[in-house]
């Protein structure tokens, strides 16, 4: 299950991503917003909580740039949110960083590329091995 949320700057991109997920039969939870103005930290928290609780495996957060969403989500222990706008970064944030939230900006990325990045993010696994040690060090930073 995927948790998806956006602020009012990325409603169109969220709708396109949800339609794309529907076409592929991928289950998701839409945590809003669907029209009302909202603050991106609230959406980041809602998506992150679904991942931390285990209800969702990964999340997608959208705002104007993706930056605010990633900054807010990364404040929550256990979250590794990455802003991505290219295929290489998206692939390697899963392979090497085990990112659990993909952040994108509607004002930064086109719809076609965004859908491609969603596919990469959802189908790429974590390599583990030497990368696990590094992810563990990221997790340890949450204790300070």
Cis peptide upstream of residue 33 (ω within 30 degrees of 0): yes
Query: For a pLDDT cut of 70, what percent of the chain falls above it?
Result: 100
Q: Could you confirm whether 96 is annotated as catalytic?
A: yes
Which helix (H) or strand (E) segment holds residue 58: the answer is strand 58-63
pLDDT (tens digit, 9 = 90+) per residue, 43-80?
Answer: 999 999 999 999 999 999 999 999 999 999 999 999 99
96, 103, 131, 144: the catalytic one is 96
In the predicted model, what is the mean pLDDT of the chain?
Answer: 97
pTM: 0.97
Query: Is pLDDT above 90 for 17?
Result: yes
Whether 63 is catalytic:
yes
From the list 6, 38, 56, 63, the catalytic residue is: 63
What is the Cα–Cα distance from 115 to 18, expressed in whole angstroms? 10
Compute, in degrees rounded to 10, the torsion defined by CA atoms 144, 90, 57, 65.
70
What is the mean predicted confidence (pLDDT) over 24-47? Answer: 96
Structural domains of the chain in order of their starting residue, each with its CATH number: 2-141 (3.40.1400.10)
Residue range 114-140: mean pLDDT, rounded? 97
Mean pLDDT to the nearest integer, 28-52: 96
């Amino acid at each position: 299950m995927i948790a998806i949320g956006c602020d009012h700057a990325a409603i169109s991109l969220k709708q396109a991503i949800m339609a794309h997920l529907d076409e592929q039969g991928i289950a998701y939870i839409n945590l809003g917003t669907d029209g009302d103005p909202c603050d991106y930290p609230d959406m980041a928290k809602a998506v992150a909580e679904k991942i931390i609780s285990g209800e969702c495996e990964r999340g997608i957060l959208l705002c104007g740039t993706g930056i605010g969403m990633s900054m807010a989500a990364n404040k929550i222990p256990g979250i590794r949110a990455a802003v991505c706008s290219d295929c290489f970064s998206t692939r390697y944030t899963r392979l090497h960083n085990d990112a659990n939230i993909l952040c994108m900006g509607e004002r930064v990325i086109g719809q076609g590329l965004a859908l491609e990045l969603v596919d990469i993010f959802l189908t790429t696994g974590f390599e583990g091995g030497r990368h696990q040690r590094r992810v563990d060090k990221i997790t340890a930073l949450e204790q300070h």
